[in-house]
Amino acid sequence: MLLTVDGLTKTFGSRRVLSDVSFNVGTGEVLGLIGPNGAGKTTVLECLAGLLPTNAGTLTYRGRPLPLSRRKEALFYLPDTIVPWAQQTVKWALGFFQKLYARTPERIAELAGPLRLTEIQQSRVATLSKGERKRTLLALGLLTPHPLLLLDEPFDGLDLRQTRDVMTLLRAESATGRTLFVSIHQLNDAAKVCDRLVLLNAGQCVAEGTLAELKTQANLTDGGLEEIFLALT
Amino acid sequence: MRSLSFVRLLAKDFRELLASRAFWLLLVFVGLLVGHGFITAVALYAEMSGAGGPAALPQGLTSLDGVLVPTWGAYDLAATLLFPFVAIRMVSSEKESGALKLLLQLPGTLAAKLTAKALVLLFAWLIAWVPGIAAILLWRSYGGHVYAPETLNLLLGHLLRGLLSGALGVAAAALAESAASAAIITLAFTVGTWALDFVAAGRGGFVQQLASYTPTAALRSFEQGLLRLNAVVVIVLVSCAAFAFAAIWLNSGRAIVERLLRVLLLVVIAAGAVWGGANLRATRDVSENRRNSFSVVDEAALRRIDQPLKITVLLSPEDPRLTDFEQNVLRKLRRALNKVTVEYAAGSRTGLFEGADEHYGEIWYELGGQKIVERSTIEEVVLEQIYKLANVDAPERSDDDAFPGYPLAAQPKYAAAIFYLFWPVLVIVTWWLSRR
């Protein structure tokens, strides 16, 4: 296992938003974190990235405890709905990450095609549409070299064709051995791109496994992820 | 690799600075303020030097008081009301846009990331100095006298003032959820220091000592040509502590309680360091007219007194005689004698209703078990009493080395065009080019 999360608990004041969440992330897989709005998906990702303090829980990375101080060596988290460095151009933002992580300029070119960034390179981040901003953020995330990449709602704001392209890109990234942990609220998208799934409901991990394993857990012989989700929550 | 990452972060913050409207507004307004200060000061200096009529006060005129301090006073205003917004924006924009979530994960410690911001802010403050430096050069071109040590001391004071403002702005932005809240915190701090200045005047003791480190009071000593090591050390320490606070508070991955404990530890360490720094007594009078020192012969005579001197002043804080006494005597005595304690014994703030107290206005000097009372606040009279108490012969003073002053009846040629036209246009064009 690349990462083992055990007993993750988080409260905001008196409200418990995560309760004893445990799951495993395997090397090179695309693991989906699914659940309804307010289930705690973003909170899980931010706790894993070390951006939010947890009340309880441990992280084990490649068999060793992963303290807060070493999180950013192991994983990178790409938040949803952020507008980083709004007055800078897309070209600058990509160049900043490429140089900071000592990636080759060709890597930007590799990403610019499938993410359709060529036309918006000179645009300021603040002026981008939701979809353009999402594609730019995805490029930033994919420019990082971390073995584990956490993506919050990577398909949110993308149209059908763009979603398909991004799925292909994520699968290709996974094929290089990189592990992706992706929070998705669109169950159809999750079923298409993820190798395994973690089902989160009301801050609790209700199931974990492949689509077939989840079907078994839900006592279903037929149906897709939507039916599984409804049966388990 | 680490240093390369730091350079990238520095470049990122520099670009963010250039994208900040607050920075460009600072540049435009500071130019206008400096221009107004300079033109008014040069005209007034010319009047005092006798332009267009008999000289009123040509003797003892100094460029420091007459031109440089009023001109650079614009930077005090800028450091209070404009520069904090540049600093706040450096942090708040990343917090509000969500970029902070990425920044926290980028290579390098949070301390390194805030150091990059501090360096960029320092650069911004130095760029804002261009109109002030231009004013000094203009003054020189008119034939004005500039004494390098006191001028550099003034610039050091404004450098520290800017550093403190920037650091407090960053700390406020780290603490507050939005830029507006951070601005309110910064403004509250500034108003608080003004209140402290007012309350502490003529009170003596800890409050007065504390008030001598408020931004305004600390800058005042630099404006008077006095280099105080304790002021330099305390301002640098407080600024570093403010940046350290920001580094602790922005680390959102740590629980609030843990962050509070770290802040508490920082406060204890910083308070200890500041206390130590405040006790550094080294000062240097870098003014050309030695305004912070007694005459050389008097200082030599005072050095022979090794017993502690206690002064009890029965003057209220708002009595102008106390201001004279503080400025012309006590400030110098504290530098010249090792052990001086001053007790302010007046009962009221204004002294208007102290008429019934027959002792009001007295100043008691106590040295070696002997006491003497005097009402005068004139330097020579006070020194005479101290020499008498200490059984030290009063030295012979000569007027040969009296400061002549540098009167100059010059007109502020080209200044209006430079500060009101050329500078704003230059800033706007540079801003426009930086946006391309």
Q: What is the pTM of this model?
A: 0.89
Q: Is B262 on the interface with A (CB under 8 A)?
A: no
Note whether B166 and B313 are same-domain residues.
no
| Domain assignment present for B415 | no
Q: Is B334 on the interface with A (CB under 8 A)?
A: no
A89-113 in b/e burial notation, b at 16+ Cβ within 10 A?
bbebbbbbbbbbbebeeebbebbbe
CB contact under 8 A, B99 and A85: yes
* C-alpha to C-alpha distance for B314 and B344, rounded to whole angstroms: 6
- Inter-chain CB proximity A140 and B106 less than 8 Å: no
Pairing of strands A148-152, A179-184: parallel
* B263 belongs to a structural domain: yes
Phi, psi of A151 (to 5 degrees): -120, 125
Q: Tell me, yes or no, whether B226 and B352 share the same domain.
A: no
Question: What's the CATH number where A72 sits?
Answer: 3.40.50.300
User: Does residue A63 form part of some domain?
Assistant: yes
Residue of A69, A71, A85, A122 best to disrupt the B interface, most CBs of B under 10 A = A85
Q: Closest chain B residue to A51 measured between Cα atoms?
A: B253
pLDDT confidence tier of residue B72, bands split at 50, 70 and 90: very high
Q: Using a CB–CB cutoff of 8 Å, tell me whether B401 touches chain A.
A: no
Number of separate domains in chain A: 1
Residue A108 lies in a domain: no
Question: Is there a domain that residue B189 lies in?
Answer: yes
Q: What confidence tier does B328 reach under pLDDT thresholds 50, 70, 90?
A: confident
Q: Is residue B42 part of a domain?
A: yes
Contacts of A81 in chain B (CB under 8 A): 98
B5 CA to chain A: closest CA distance, Å? 6
Range of the domain at B46: 2-286+423-435
Q: Quick one: tokens of B366?
A: 């106590």
Sign of CA dihedral B197, B199, B201, B207: negative
Same domain, B262 and B300: no
B12 and B84 co-located in one domain: yes
Residue B191 and residue B72 share a domain? yes
Residues of A in contact with B97 (CB under 8 A): 82-86
Same structural domain, B317 and B278: no
Domain residues for the domain of A191 are 3-81+147-232
Query: Does A124 map to a domain?
Result: no
- Residues of chain B above pLDDT 70, percent: 94
Residue A228 lies inside a defined structural domain of this protein: yes
Nearest Cα residue in chain B from A93: B12
- Tokens 């309880």, located at residue: A56
d(CA A190, CA A167): 10
In a domain, residue B407? The reply is no
Residues B47 and B100 grouped into a single domain: yes
- Amino acid sitting at position B211: A
CATH, residue B358: 3.40.30.10
Domains of chain B: total: 2
Q: Are residues B115 and B205 in the same domain?
A: yes
- For residue A103, pLDDT beyond 90: yes
Higher pLDDT, A210 or B51: A210
Residue with tokens 């005689």: B321
What is the interface pTM, i.e. ipTM, of the complex?
0.95
pLDDT reading at A95 higher than 90: yes
Q: Within a domain: residue A62?
A: yes
Residue B171 has pLDDT above 90, yes or no: yes
Residue B348 clears pLDDT 70, i.e. is over it: no
If asked whether residues B189 and B235 sit together in one domain, one would say: yes
Whether residue A182 lies inside any domain: the answer is yes
Q: Least CA distance to B12: which residue of chain A?
A: A96
Question: For residue A177, is it within any domain?
Answer: yes
* Nearest residue, CB atoms, A84 vs list B102, B254, B258: B102
Instruction: Work out the angle at residue B71's Cα, subtended by the Cα atoms of residues B68 and B75, and round it to the nearest 5 degrees.
Output: 110
Nearest chain B residue to A98 by CA distance is B8
